[in-house]
Structure 1
């Protein structure tokens, strides 16, 4: 695969641990993890159930902060930011693509993609950006008028990708993005992600499927909250 990797460090986990305090006792989901992802990389994260994949995704997506250690995004220490600053960083820097799509059922495909723009600019999109993103992932004007339950799984995931892209984030964070799709449709979605990577996006994908991980430039394997060295 052609590399578009830049020289700058985009994400750094520095000796990060995440401990959950449960009634049954403390549970260490991440155990002194250090990781650097550079701008323009395509990275796969693999590991068995309970290995810490979901926890590390929550860290990378700024949905949680470390118990100890540091998470740096573009050199900014996330723990030192206010909740509002973290919210704005999530909105502007990261596009999320999930296994379950999470489209708003009462909105059309177009309105789902437009919604992040409304949240950011407090008005309807007049730039054509939402329609442009839908076209880019193969959803035409007529299909854009449909609600999610009128679309196939593959079409819904395309809409979800368009929504993730609409604010032009540097990072695409993909959590089992083909998990609810048949094999053929899943690889069509992967082709879209590969193309976005070639255009400069940093793509991070969590998967349990080795064939999907092979699309990435490198694979990070987790086990029992630690990174397993190759």
Structure 2
């Protein structure tokens, strides 16, 4: 079926199966994302309606990667903005939101020191600081003390994801399935990459959802295509949320 726009197709469903990608989850978790309210409203409309929700293992990888980057950059931002106040008053200098987001003062200080080191390196050039996250983690793992502090950021990111899964199950009453790829998935994904010029991650999403779920809901514009034109056996409805 051709990809569908809007929420009308899925806001009133019940006893249905739905596959979602990383964009969907990240929008829900990010209160600053204008789409967050829409995703939350959609999940609320599914409350106790016997919805089966599929999330792939590589979606977990995508989400954790973004959450990790967000955690590191937010902790760095707070530490820089409140560095002098933190030096004199510690956590008392921070708002409740900042206390939560900084992870810990020691972890934020560690990130700040690593960034300072990276920026002084003549071998490293970054278009923006977010591009430094991978190197921050690499440098952090070279010393046990730093590794332990960055471990707090990993823990926070995993806790956020686990909290999302818990909320789906306990608050919304949604059955959650965690999916893994197999050889058939990769074969189908390879075909989708050729047919629709999808990136590998997107092709795997579509391959996993194909005819295993009633709907595949995404916020990624790359999925706005007529899939039935080249895949006549596709029964899963692809729904794009703007």
| TM-score when normalising by structure 1 | 0.28
Greater relative contact order structure (CA < 8 Å, 6+ sep) = 2
Query: Per residue, is there more strand in 1 or in 2?
Result: 1
